[in-house]
Chains A and B, each alone.
Chain A
Amino acid sequence: MKRNIFVLALVLVLAMTFVVAKGTKEEAKSVSSTLTVGVDQEAVGLDPHIVTAFSSMRRLDLLYNRLVRLDENMKVVPDLAESWEIPDNLTYIFHLRKGVKFHNGREMVASDVKYSLERVLDPKTASPGASYIAPIERIDIVDQYTVKLTLSSPLASLLDALTSNNISIVPREVVEKEGNLQRVAVGTGPYMLKEWVQDNSMTLERNPDYFEEGYPVSDTIIFRVIPEQASLYAGVRSGSIDVATINDGAVVRQASADKSVVVLNKPGMNVRVFAFNNKRAPFNDVRVRQAIALTLDRSEILTMAEYGMGSATGPVPISASEWAIAPDKLPLGTVDHARAKALLAEAGYPNGFTFDIVCSATYEGGLDVAQVVQNELKAIGLTANLDVVEWGNYIDRWVKRDFDTMIELRGGSSEPDRFLYRSLHSTGGVNNFQFADSETDRLLELGREQTDPAQRKATYDKLQEVLSEKAPLVFLYCPNESHVISSAVKGFVQVGNGSLFYLTRASVEK
Chain B
Amino acid sequence: MTTKRGKARRATRAPAKENGGHVITVTVNGTKYVRTVEPRVLLVDFIRDELRLTGTHVGCDTSHCGACTVLADGHAVKSCTMLAVQADGAEVTTIEALAPKGRLHPLQEAFKEHHGLQCGYCTPGVVLAALELLQVENAPTEEAIRTAISGNICRCTGYVNIVRAISAAGDMMRPGRK
- Do A and B interact? no
Which positions in A face B, CB cutoff 8 Å?
Answer: none
